[in-house]
Structure 1
Amino acid sequence: MAKNNLPKAGFTLAKIALGGAVLVGLGAVTVAYAQTKPLQTVEKVELDKYLGVWYEVARKPMYFQNQCDRDVSATYTLNENGNVKVDNRCYSKTGQLKQSVGEAFVQNSPFNTKLKVSFLPEAVRWLPVGRGDYWVLKLDENYQTVLVGEPRRKYMWVLSRSAHPDESVVKEYLDYAKSLGYDLSDIIHTQQTQK
């Protein structure tokens, strides 16, 4: 009497399928855990080193960037009041310059890793409404590449001092974002035409 009616090849395929299902399940659990784990920022950001021009190299879709087709950049300068002026620029598909000027407010001085950004008109920007989170999640020691996000993991940017950074560096930062629970299936790689 045969103890198992499954052919040997069928049994092996069943084991492979079960193993694959377990791996997929573990992957889903890992992503779910990463998304519920509190988002960690870098230890500290020295604002004077962080100021200047950054080029966007990758981002998750965001409604206020819908018209941005290429050459997205952000310039950060220190205001007299100690807050950071944010000057975002990009070009539309028709070549029209789009600019949005706002202000960033440090939320955890002296660490400077969590900011709130407002693009409200300057006269009412002091109001603590309409501000978005800007958290520094990964930053190299030379302040050349940065991963910025927010705690719900809906929005994320990889910025670089170079319009054309090394692809392996960009991959490293995107892999890190994925490890934090970001879904990268809709990632946009920004076209930069500057040299």
Structure 2
Amino acid sequence: MAKKSMEVVKGIDLARYMGRWYEIASFPSRFQPKNGINTRATYTLRDDGTVNVLNETWSDGKRGSIEGTAYKADPNSDEAKLKVKFYVPPFLPIIPVTGDYWVLYLDDEYRYALIGQPSRSYLWILCRENHLDEEVYNMLVEKAKGEGYDVTKLKKTTHTNPPPEAEDAPADTKGFWWLKSIFGK
């Protein structure tokens, strides 16, 4: 049976979507350290309408991060289908790697979001705070299930309170966790 096409949010206000989002749960990736905690993304709108993406995670007390660029896959569409481009490896910007970032659900207040992509290999539940009400979490999981995702693969992300400040941790110079940021690749 062919899977139905995914419902994607329409008419997203990118300016409102900017700022920091905490990863509440995701499909684990072989590129991500199993002990990565406090994982988060910070989005900043640039003057040209593209988005600066900063993904961070903490592993063994060290901060790993990668920066990239997000932009609308089709500027004329009102669907929230974005492309995200990272240069790999981050310290040697040679090979651009592009992935899909589809906003499948976003609440009216822009407080929590469900992010996926067409292959259904990757899924993220994001929230403005580093914790999410169980009822809301379960609703997002059900939505993902309805879009054809195998939600048994979802793993909750560990967060500490208060969340770390970026300056607090030594940089993780050897970590390859940033590859997990490449959606579906």
Q: TM-score, normalised by structure 2?
A: 0.78
Distance in 1, Cα, partners of 2:39 & 2:154: 15
Q: Alpha carbons of 1:63 and 1:116: their partners in 2 closer, same or farther (altered >3 Å)?
A: farther
Does the Cα contact within 8 Å between 1:85 and 1:101 map onto a contact in 2?
Answer: yes
Does the Cα contact within 8 Å between 1:46 and 1:112 map onto a contact in 2?
Answer: no
Q: Which has the larger radius of gyration?
A: 1
Distance in 1, Cα, partners of 2:30 & 2:73: 24
Q: Alpha carbons of 1:52 and 1:187: their partners in 2 closer, same or farther (altered >3 Å)?
A: same
1:112 Cα deviation (Å)? 5.4
The reply on whether 1:174 has 2:141 as its aligned counterpart is yes
Partner amino acid, structure 2, of 1:182: Y
Instruction: Describe the superposition over 1:7-62 as per-residue Cα deviations: whole angstroms up to 9, x where unpaired.
Output: xxxxxxxxxxxxxxxxxxxxxxxxx66xx111120122100100000000010122
Q: Alpha carbons of 1:160 and 1:83: their partners in 2 closer, same or farther (altered >3 Å)?
A: same
Q: TM-score, normalised by structure 1?
A: 0.75
Partner of 1:187: 154
Partner of 1:100: 66
Higher helix share: 1
Residue 117 (structure 2) aligned to one of 111, 135, 150: 150
Partner of 2:132: 165
Gaps of 5+ in 2: 163-185
* Structural RMSD (CA): 2.1
Residue 69 (structure 1) aligned to one of 36, 42, 50: 36
| Secondary structure at 1:98 match in 2 | strand
Q: Alpha carbons of 1:166 and 1:180: their partners in 2 closer, same or farther (altered >3 Å)?
A: same
Larger deviation, residues 142-151 vs 57-66? 57-66
1:194 Cα deviation (Å)? 2.9
1:81 Cα deviation (Å)? 2.4
**Which has the bigger relative contact order, CA under 8 A and spacing at least 6?**
2
Distance in 2, Cα, partners of 1:168 & 1:62: 26
Gaps of 5+ in 1: 1-31
Instruction: Describe the superposition over 1:81-120 as per-residue Cα deviations: whole angstroms up to 9, x where unpaired.
Output: 221000000101x111011111112113352501111111
What number of residue pairs does the alignment pair up?
159
Higher strand share: 2
Identity %: 36
Distance in 1, Cα, partners of 2:114 & 2:68: 20
Distance in 1, Cα, partners of 2:79 & 2:139: 23
Distance in 2, Cα, partners of 1:120 & 1:68: 24
Distance in 2, Cα, partners of 1:81 & 1:65: 31
Partner amino acid, structure 1, of 2:29: M
